[in-house]
Structure 1
Amino acid sequence: MFGRSKFGAAACLVAGSLAMSACASKAPKQLPPEPSGVATQTDDGANRIIPGSQADFVQQMAGQDTIYFDTDKYNIDSVDASALQTQAQWLIKYPAKRATVEGHADERGTRDYNLALGERRANSAKNYLVSLGVDASRVTTVSYGKERPIALGSDEESWAKNRRAVTVTID
Structure 2
Amino acid sequence: MSSSLIMPRRGTRARHAGATMLVVAGALAISACGTKAPKELPPQPTPTSSTTGPDQMAGAVPGSQADFVAQMMGADTIYFDLDKYDVDAQDQAALARQAQWLMQYPSKRATIEGHADERGTREYNLALGERRANAAKNYLVSLGVDPGRISTISYGKERPIALGSDEQSWAQNRRAVTVTID
TM-score interval, smaller chain: 0.7 to 0.9
Correspondence for 2:142 among 108, 131, 141: 131
Return 5+ residue gaps in structure 1 as ranges.
Answer: 1-41
Alignment coverage as a number of residue pairs = 130
- Judged with a 3 Å threshold, the aligned counterparts in structure 2 of structure 1 residues 47 and 73 are, in CA distance, closer, same or farther, namely closer
Return 5+ residue gaps in structure 2 as ranges.
Answer: 1-43, 48-56
Distance 1:55 1:151 in 2: 22
1:120 and 2:122 matched = no
Moved segments of 4+, more than 4 Å:
none
The two structures, once aligned, show a CA RMSD in angstroms of 1.4
Distance 2:81 2:140 in 1: 20
Distance 1:47 1:124 in 2: 31
1:44 and 2:55 matched = no
Partner residue, 2:113? 102
Distance 1:105 1:99 in 2: 20
Partner residue, 1:144? 155
Q: Could you state the TM-score of these two structures normalised by the residue count of structure 2?
A: 0.69
Shift of 1:109: 0.1
Shift of 1:48: 2.4
Partner residue, 2:76? 65
What amino acid is the match of 1:124? Answer: A
Shift of 1:43: 5.0
Q: Deviations over 1:7-38 (max 9, x none)?
A: xxxxxxxxxxxxxxxxxxxxxxxxxxxxxxxx
Q: Deviations over 1:52-100 (max 9, x none)?
A: 0000000000000000000000000000000000000000000000000
Partner residue, 2:181? 170
Q: Deviations over 1:83-122 (max 9, x none)?
A: 0000000000000000000000000000000000000000
Distance 2:58 2:106 in 1: 25
Q: Could you state the TM-score of these two structures normalised by the residue count of structure 1?
A: 0.74
Q: What secondary structure, in the 3-state scheme, does the structure 2 residue paired with 1:67 have?
A: strand
- Judged with a 3 Å threshold, the aligned counterparts in structure 2 of structure 1 residues 137 and 152 are, in CA distance, closer, same or farther, namely same
Identical aligned pairs, as a percentage? Answer: 74
Distance 1:75 1:117 in 2: 11
Higher radius of gyration, 1 or 2: 2
Deviates more, 1:42-51 or 1:156-165: 42-51
What amino acid is the match of 2:157? Answer: K
Q: Deviations over 1:127-153 (max 9, x none)?
A: 000000000000000000000000001
1:86 and 2:97 matched = yes
Shift of 1:49: 1.4
Distance 2:109 2:94 in 1: 17
